[in-house]
Structure 1
């Protein structure tokens, strides 16, 4: 599953927000393999999207919005999107171009009318769904133009419109406010055990091995030098023993396993490495990218500037910035490739010199020392 274009207005803190995931020309000797739709070499899409930015710039909210759109399309429950309308006295709208598991590009346009009663009603939800076949020589731009020329009213029952979408599949991982529940893979348990064991042994050298508990469903035991720890349904039974980074590693192992097994197609990993050393994060991201299948797409949010040193195309790097004084568009999206056109341009130098104007202001922090 691939997201090609998304527009968000009046959800979370997004207003008139627009992000596009196509890129104009083929990259020679790219580190990323098959960064185009399989069988459609002119249909280029950003297979890897590294999202960076200061705190509270919308990195997590952006992923949660996409997840809510997916859930809305899948379950037909409009509360998935009405719950995150920012100003319910005004219309909210999103539009998304996406591809599932066929040579078909969909465009969904959803409008939510201003709330007039205590709760939103189904009649407040208007959905327009368009789709075009992706031909052999098509690009995203040619398909987008054909979608523009399709005129469809959004007066149909929104459930009937959503029923036309086939092949939705995704996986999201977010920083956990509560103990995580992760269902271990069933395709290749032996490989998952290998991934989990390698991950946790890197994060905690005291872990000797990981074994599956056959008599308990979805349970594993971490064999340490002096004690054993049980993991069941992705939750560590004794949370005081393992570090925060090691516990995050359980979800990371599951995420990597899903990519290797090709379970989903769309993957969003949001700051799962906050407690994990920089080199380890870079190594895991490299593995994720190398294991992506044809027509897969990865979104990866991070604060780790060492990621900038990976040999990725510049269009893979996305920066979000927030300006609360801009009431029309408080959150903006900046692609590194908009500024850095030459192969010799240094992304690291651009970020260090704040070329994208995304660095947080720290003046008020230094003022703390001068307060009397």
Structure 2
């Protein structure tokens, strides 16, 4: 599943529009293959870095993408329940995305309408969908008119999605503060030939996060478990499902090492098409986060996509295209929070201009107001 365009009017995303395609091939870029595997003229952004201050909607957007993907894939409206709050009677979502099946690429537009139902607390979910088989020479830009001019008819989600089939996969990691993500998940679905590769990645990541770690290996005594061995011979057993907070010896940053390793392994082996990585580096130094993102991006194939949230502005110095960076901001209008987003390429695209310098000078208008902090104690 390759995300191309979003239009949201739900929660704090009011008239929120974001486009992940780009019209012209870049002459110089560090990210190769930013196009569909089957249709090279159909260009999209393989890397989407979401940057913003605290509470600007980065995690909310990742969770929204995840929940809508679950809804479409599993055809279960319960994944959308949390998208309607007490203060919202309805929500509207429009999403353009591409699925590739072998040598076939299909562009979809799905319109999803969620209506709050106060009678039995089961929201009404209606869907209107249109699909277009992409052919040689197609791009998103020359497909928009067909999508826009189609006459969409909303139906119950059961009817609208009856013939919808997808083969896309995704992997998501959220902070341990989020429900269901305060658990260690060890990559268990690997075959014998992949075990050495997985352990190599796990060792490299964990040893980088904590130089005192001597070795990481699969436990011989417990199923779906790993053992972390320290240079002083101490050992820590970690099993699938363990609470992150309960693991002894590991620092806060090192505890995220398993989730980071899982994502790296999946990208390296092209297990999924869509990767959502949210706030996995809050306790990790900026240099390590930057190196890991660079490696994740280099491992992506055509037909794959990575969403990555961060507070680390050093990532802006990696030399990625301007169009990879999105800046999020929350404003209060008439007492209601509104989330806005802007892409760096909307302001600048020249190779000799530093996006980091622009960010440091608040060219994207995302700097937080810290006056309240400085007023303490007056």
Fold agreement, TM-score > 0.5: yes
Other-structure match for 2:134: 134
Other-structure match for 1:248: 256
Deviations 1:177-233 (A, max 9, x none): 223334334041110001001111111111111111234221111111231111111
1:260 to 265, 268, 271: 268
Deviations 1:105-144 (A, max 9, x none): 11110112242314025xx221111100111111102222
The alignment status of 1:169 with 2:175, answered yes or no, reads: no
Any gaps of 5 or more consecutive residues in structure 1? none
Structure 2: distance between partners of 1:255 and 1:191: 13
Q: Which moved more, 1:86-95 or 1:50-59?
A: 86-95
Other-structure match for 1:228: 235
Other-structure match for 2:208: 202
Other-structure match for 1:299: 307
> Taking structure 1 as reference, are residues 299 and 219 closer, same or farther at Cα in structure 2, changes over 3 Å only?
same
Structure 2: distance between partners of 1:326 and 1:38: 46
If the length of structure 2 is used for normalisation, what is the TM-score?
A: 0.92
Structure 2: distance between partners of 1:286 and 1:171: 18
Structure 2: distance between partners of 1:87 and 1:297: 33
1:335 to 330, 343, 363: 343
Deviations 1:152-192 (A, max 9, x none): 4113x412322413113111111112233343340411100
Structure 2: distance between partners of 1:89 and 1:320: 22
Other-structure match for 2:50: 51
How many equivalent residue pairs? 366
The alignment status of 1:183 with 2:182, answered yes or no, reads: no
Any gaps of 5 or more consecutive residues in structure 2? none
SS in 1 for 2:13: coil
Q: Which moved more, 1:233-242 or 1:2-11?
A: 233-242
Structure 1: distance between partners of 2:17 and 2:296: 26
Other-structure match for 1:120: 122
SS in 1 for 2:8: strand
> Taking structure 1 as reference, are residues 30 and 89 closer, same or farther at Cα in structure 2, changes over 3 Å only?
closer
The answer to whether the 8 A contact 1:320-1:358 is kept is: yes
Offset at 1:10? 2.0
Other-structure match for 1:81: 80
Other-structure match for 2:217: 211
Other-structure match for 1:42: 41
Structure 2: distance between partners of 1:184 and 1:141: 41
Other-structure match for 1:154: 154
If the length of structure 1 is used for normalisation, what is the TM-score?
A: 0.94
How well do the aligned residues superpose, as a CA RMSD in angstroms? 1.8
The answer to whether the 8 A contact 1:89-1:115 is kept is: no
The answer to whether the 8 A contact 2:206-2:213 is kept is: yes
The answer to whether the 8 A contact 1:230-1:237 is kept is: no
Offset at 1:248? 0.6
SS in 2 for 1:247: helix
